[in-house]
Structure 1
Amino acid sequence: MVSTAKLKPGDRVRAIRELTGLNQREFAEALGVDITLLKNIEYKRNRVTESFYEIIGRTFPEMLPWFVYEGPLTLDSLRNSKSSLCKVAAARIDAGFIPAGFFSEDIFKDGNQ
């Protein structure tokens, strides 16, 4: 299990991927990146580049503050997102599919962080 304190960027990439329910190949395709790059970031062999931050921001705009600095993330923002993948994440949270170890227990309660 990953500690929720001071997650590495690779851990946050994996958390977002698991929250969407996609495997690495599907997630890489959704982001438009090579699967090898995604794996290397998740396994912390590569650093997250500025262009990768931009890709995350375009694909998951409501998750960007959390991805960059573990900033605020609300269930309501995911539900109301224009991003279909953010809406998928919201639906999975509503169904109780929250990946263990990445998010504090109360982060998604009642739309609050």
Structure 2
Amino acid sequence: MELNELLFFDRMPRMLPVYETLRNELAQRYPQMKITVGKTQISFRSRYIFAMASLPVRRIRGCPDEFLLVSFGLSHRLEDERILRAVEPYPNRWTHHVVVTGSGEIDSRLMRWLEEAHQFSMTK
């Protein structure tokens, strides 16, 4: 893991192990994947960005105080209780946001969604 990834979690260090689990799962599936650390999010890309991880900037009603927000894009809207929010910034491009509070939530269902997002990003 790069230093800039570690520093990203300075204000919420309890979420670092959750991020590490996500990062490791993605790196295992997509060894050529690139990781870009910005001020507000960490992006995972192959051809294009297919997933992002971020920390909450402000309190979100109904969410815990600390969590990792995992976001990904699909061609359609997913309906699932784990989806905090889904928005369509462009026609047929839906961005989904999932609240993750522990490493156990980086499970097969989330990874299936991220696989679908990866495939979608490769067809843009």
**What TM-score results when the alignment is normalised by the length of structure 2?**
0.29
Q: Whose radius of gyration is greater, 1 or 2?
A: 2
**What TM-score results when the alignment is normalised by the length of structure 1?**
0.30
Question: Relative contact order (C-alpha < 8 Å, sep 6+): which is higher?
Answer: 1
**Which has more strand, going by share of residues?**
2
